[in-house]
Amino acid sequence: MLLVGFVILLAVVGLAYHLTSSVNTKSPFILPESGPVAKGKILTSALLSPNGTAGERDILLISRDGNDVTNLTINKPKSDLVSGGLNPTFSPDYTRIAYVATPTGSNNSQIFIMDTNGKERQQVTYSTGSKYNPSWSPDGSALLYSRSTGENNNSELKTSIWKLDLKTGKETDLGVVGTIPIWLSSGAEFSFQLINGQSHQLLIYKNGGTTKINLLLDQKPVTNFNYPVFSHDRSKVAFINFEDGSQLYIADATGSNAHKLTNSVSSIYSMPSWSADNSYIVVSEEDRTVGKSFITGVDLTGQIVFRLGFPNLSGFNMPRIASQ
């Protein structure tokens, strides 16, 4: 069975009605020193063996031509982590990396930060519940993330969106049920996704309220999609359309004019992210015909910009590319 990235199946309904907070029991913590700027590098997590049959997942920096692959977590002591990490994301200045890992002896994944050399690793969340999908604020002072909070009436995971202040270690429940929060460039709002079975919604949170964005294909709403992400200039939104074989789509920022960028009969795609200049999208690709994983860049006309595959790596998770 092919591993298709890291998929979180969540059932979430409505919005919470109050804000709560918990304080990091290890605060004040010391943030890692800034590492070198990861110019033009691709950040991802991957399994270190073909097809995910053995080995463990680690965080990698990869040059766009694929000639340079640096493992940032393989040499870390295994006494502190069950696995190298998931959901990696660059800080706005590309000098630090936030990611998710599970401490030994815990059932809950937590958020860690390290520099781009893989040094100065620091755990920054300690509260109960598993954490996923960290997203940096534009000024680098805070993180948004999804936090599992137990079970709902259908005995499925329920998540809410939290904010971590990196100066104080304070974790604050924003009162929003949802997943995949992504801070938008204004710093005053973020996008997130609601998932209830096969009914998915894209929403924008601002000043305590939410606005729904309907993704429209031929004037009809797309309701079964995943990982919607706005371009940095907020003019487009990319997403994976489950209704069309997990192909990559884009739409206008209002949700209108949705259309596909990939049209593969053999590959499925996941977890898109935008290049710094908004000229192409980076996705995780699983080619079921050849049984291989790729990191693929696709421009806004659907042309392949690059396609990187490696014999000992599979299941690329959250590929992100730094500016040149």
Q: What is the mean pLDDT of each run of 10 residues along the chain (324 residues)?
A: 33 34 52 80 87 68 95 65 79 95 85 91 90 96 89 61 94 93 94 87 95 96 96 97 97 97 97 97 97 97 97 94 90
With CA atoms as reference, report the closest residue to 193 among 183, 203, 185, 208.
Answer: 203
**pLDDT recorded at residue 191:** 98
pTM over 0.85: yes
With CA atoms as reference, report the closest residue to 234 among 255, 215, 217, 261.
Answer: 255
**pLDDT recorded at residue 155:** 45
**pLDDT recorded at residue 75:** 57
CA separation for the pair 121, 69 (Å, rounded): 20
CA separation for the pair 109, 111 (Å, rounded): 7
* E strands, 127-188, in order: 131-136, 142-151, 157-165, 170-177, 179-183
CA separation for the pair 315, 311 (Å, rounded): 12
CA separation for the pair 281, 300 (Å, rounded): 8
The CATH number given to 21-321 is 2.120.10.30
Q: In this structure, what are the phi and psi dihedrals at residue 319, rounded to the nearest 5 degrees? A: -65, 135
